Structure formats: C-alpha cells, structure tokens
Amino acid sequence: MEEFTWISAFFLGLMGAPHCAGMCGGIVAALSLGSRPVMTSEGRHFSQVLAYNLGRISSYIVAGMLVGGLSALASNMIALHHAQLLLKSFAIVFMLFLGLYIGGWWTALTRLERLGGHLWRHLEPLGRRFIPVRNLPTAFMVGAVWGWLPCGLVYTGLIYSSTAGGAFEGGLLMLFFGLGTLPAMLIMGALGVRLQTLLQQIWLRRLSGALVIGFACYMAFSLLRH
C-alpha cells in the first residue's frame, strides 16, 4: 500500500473533526464528567480520555481488517486492476457524500448511519455497563464499544480501507484514519463543551466539508491520470 494512502486516511480523519464533535462529543463529555470524582490529577484524567480513544481506534483497526480482507477476497474473483479501480471510484464517491454531509448540504449518509443503528442497538447497552469510568481498562472498553457507533465518517474510512489490498493493509489504513481523529478528541476531552461548540460552528463545518470535497476531487483526478 502506498504511503500516500496512509497520509490520505490520516487527513480524512483530521478533516472530519466537526463531525467527530457532533457524534462523539457528548460521549467524551460524559466520560470526563463521570470520571472526575475519582480523579487524583489532570494527568490521570488525560490518561482515561486517551485510553478511551485507543479503544475506539482499536475497533476501527478491527473493522478495517475485516473490510480489507473481504475486499481482497472478492478481488480474487475478478481482475485485480478492475476491482481496485471500482473500489477506489466507490471510495471517492463516498468521500464526496461525506463532504456534503459534514458541510450540511446533503445528508444522504444519515440513511447509512440508520442501517448501522441496527447493530448499535445491541452494542450500546454493553458500553453503558462501563460508565461511570473508574480506571484505564474500563475507559478502553468504553472506547472499544463506542468505536462501532454508526458514523458516516467512519463508514467512509472503511470504504477507503477496502482499496488497501488486504486485511493487514486495511487495518493499517484505519489506524492512520483513527490517528487523524485523535487530536480533536483529546482536546475535546480537555476543553469539553467549549471545543464542541466551536467545532459545531456552521462556517467551520462548511470549511471542513469543502476540504473533504476538494480532497475527493483531487483523488478522482489522480485516479483518472493513471
């Protein structure tokens, strides 16, 4: 897998910060508030927020490995070149949809999130068993469960991981995607509602959406050149 693919996945996660604030901001806030009574220091609070995010990213890696492995298996049934071209084209289209979704111009991805809600109904009660968070392992488990929260941004990353060429590569791509989402989530853990309010500003959402659309157009141009 090309290094550019990893960088692209990282920036996809980074540009989705306003969407992360809307989807996971409340969870991070609940984690912070629920854990503060037993905190002995700000360092320990940060450790629990970090553990939550590591659990979340671990779920992304597992999902990326599943998608990457299944797509590689399917690619063996047809010509590899055509399969890669089809998957990359599909990923670019999804990225365009994501940009429109983040910017608030078109919300078609909410339909896909509703489909993912069927699985989430079974997982969400499991995650709540670990709240309030009392230690690092439970913080990790909350993140591991909430990593499966229906999310158009994550689904776009997973479709992108289907182009990676295998299970290991798909997991690696989702690792970089997850690392891209990490800065906003860690800062949100420290600033809470203040950062969430900033990231939900319409001008910032539209700027992020426009960047994702521009990135998708660039990827489409690169694909056509080859």
Q: How far is residue 223's CA from residue 36's CA, in Å, rounded to a whole number?
A: 49
Q: Of 130, 131, 113, 111, nearest to 121 (Cα)?
A: 113
Q: Report phi then psi at 107, rounded to 5.
A: -110, 35
pLDDT tens per residue across all 226 residues of the chain: 455 688 889 999 998 877 776 666 666 666 655 544 444 455 667 788 889 899 999 999 999 999 999 888 877 766 656 667 788 888 889 889 988 988 889 887 788 777 777 777 888 888 778 877 788 899 899 899 988 988 888 999 999 998 888 899 999 999 999 999 998 888 876 666 566 666 667 888 888 889 889 988 988 888 887 6
Q: Are 10 and 173 in contact (CB under 8 A)?
A: no
For residue 39, what pLDDT is reported? Answer: 42
For residue 79, what pLDDT is reported? Answer: 60
Please confirm whether the linkage preceding 150 is cis (ω < 30° from 0): no
Q: Is 165 left (phi over 0), alpha (psi -120 to 50) or beta?
A: left
For residue 42, what pLDDT is reported? Answer: 55
Q: Are 139 and 35 in contact (CB under 8 A)?
A: yes
For residue 196, what pLDDT is reported? Answer: 62
For the chain, give every domain's residue range.
3-225
CB atoms within 10 A of CB 112: 17
Q: Are 158 and 150 in contact (CB under 8 A)?
A: no
Q: Is 40 helix (H, G, I), strand (E, B) or coil?
A: coil
Q: Is 52 left (phi over 0), alpha (psi -120 to 50) or beta?
A: alpha
Tokens representing 220?
Answer: 């489409």
